[in-house]
C-alpha cells in the first residue's frame, strides 16, 4: 500500500507545542501545605517524586510528622533492587536481558524485563502498601510517556484504577541496547491521619535495555 506522509499537518501542529509550553515554574519543595518527597534510584533507573498538597496549612512539626509517615520511616522498606545488579554503562545503567528487574522505594515498585533478542520491554509499577493505605480515591495514571534512543515514542494509554492495581505497559519497540527514558504520573487523594489533600506521584528513569553481546552484557 502506498501511504502519503501527513507531514504538512504535523508541522503545523508541532508549532503549537512551542506556544503551549510556557516558562518553567520554580519548584517549591515544601511549604505550609505542600510536602515533596524525592527518591533517586540506582543510576537513575527508577526515580519517584511524591508531592502532596494538603487542604489545610500545617506547622513545621506536623509537616515533619506527615513526611515521616509518607517516607515509611515507621518500618516500611527502604530503596531496594531485586535482580541481577545492573551494570553501569556509558549511557545509563545496563539492565541485562532475560532478567526480571524490580526497583522499590517507599512510594512503590518499578519492574522491567526484556528478552534477549526480543523487540519489547514490559514494565510495571505498583504503589507500595504503605502509601496505598493513605490513598482514599482511585488512582489516575496519565499514561507512560517515553523515548527510545532519543526519539519520542507514542504515549501509552492512561488508566484509572484502585491503588492496589499493577499498572503496566510495554515499551515497543525495544530492541537490544536501546536506551529508554520514561515518565508517568499517578494522581490521587490522600488522608494522612485525618489530614486530607491531593497528591501526584511522578515516576521517571532511564536505562539501556541491554542485549547479550559476547555473553557480557547479559551478565554471564
Partner 1 sequence: MPAECEFPTGAASSLSELKSSIDSEVVPYCLELAFRTGELRSFLTTITQYGGLNAGPGIELRLETSEGDVQSFPVWQPNVESLSTLQGLRRSLLEQLESWLPESRLRWGENVHLVDPDNSQQ
- Chain residues binding partner 1 by CB under 8 A are 1-10, 12-14, 16-17, 20-21, 142-143, 145-147, 151-158, 169-170, 172, 181-185
Closer CB to partner 1, 154 or 213, in the complex:
154
Are 68 and 88 in contact by the 8 Å Cβ rule? The answer is no
Compute the least distance from the CB of residue 122 to partner 1, in Å: 11
Rounded to whole angstroms, the Cα distance separating 10 from 162 reads 36
From its phi and psi, is residue 20 left (phi > 0), alpha (psi between -120 and 50) or beta? alpha
62 or 168: CB nearest partner 1: 168
Nearest approach in angstroms of CB 28 to partner 1 is: 18
Rounded to the nearest whole angstrom, what is the least distance from the CB of residue 161 to partner 1 in the complex? 10
Nearer to partner 1, 65 or 185 (CB): 185
Q: How far apart are CA 206 and CA 145, in angstroms?
A: 12
Gap between the Cα atoms of 46 and 31, Å rounded? 26
Q: Looking at beta carbons only, is 72 or 92 nearer to partner 1?
A: 92
Q: Report yes or no: 203 and 146 within 8 Å, Cβ to Cβ.
A: no
Q: What's the min distance (Å) between Cβ of 152 and partner 1?
A: 4
Amino acid at each position: 500500500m502506498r501511504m502519503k506522509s501527513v507531514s504538512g499537518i504535523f508541522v503545523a501542529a508541532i508549532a503549537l507545542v512551542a506556544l503551549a509550553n510556557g516558562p518553567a515554574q520554580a519548584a517549591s519543595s515544601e511549604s505550609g501545605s505542600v510536602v515533596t518527597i524525592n527518591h533517586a534510584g540506582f543510576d537513575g533507573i527508577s526515580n519517584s517524586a511524591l508531592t502532596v498538597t494538603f487542604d489545610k496549612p500545617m506547622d513545621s512539626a506536623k509537616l515533619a510528622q506527615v513526611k515521616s509517615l509518607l517516607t515509611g520511616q515507621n518500618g516500611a522498606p527502604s530503596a531496594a533492587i531485586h535482580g541481577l545488579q545492573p551494570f553501569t554503562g556509558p549511557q545509563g545503567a545496563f539492565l541485562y536481558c532475560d532478567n526480571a528487574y524490580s526497583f522499590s522505594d517507599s512510594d512503590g515498585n518499578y519492574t522491567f524485563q526484556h528478552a534477549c533478542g526480543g523487540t519489547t520491554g514490559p514494565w510495571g509499577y505498583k504503589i507500595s502498601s504503605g502509601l496505598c493505605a493513605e490513598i482514599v480515591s482511585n488512582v489516575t495514571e496519565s499514561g507512560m510517556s517515553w523515548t527510545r534512543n532519543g526519539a519520542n515514542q507514542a504515549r501509552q494509554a492512561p488508566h484509572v484504577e484502585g491503588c492496589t492495581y499493577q499498572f503496566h505497559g510495554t515499551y515497543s519497540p525495544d530492541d537490544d541496547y536501546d536506551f529508554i527514558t520514561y515518565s508517568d504520573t499517578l494522581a490521587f487523594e490522600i488522608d494522612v491521619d485525618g489530614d486530607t489533600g491531593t497528591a501526584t506521584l511522578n515516576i521517571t528513569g532511564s536505562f539501556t535495555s541491554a542485549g547479550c553481546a559476547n555473553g557480557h552484557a547479559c551478565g554471564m
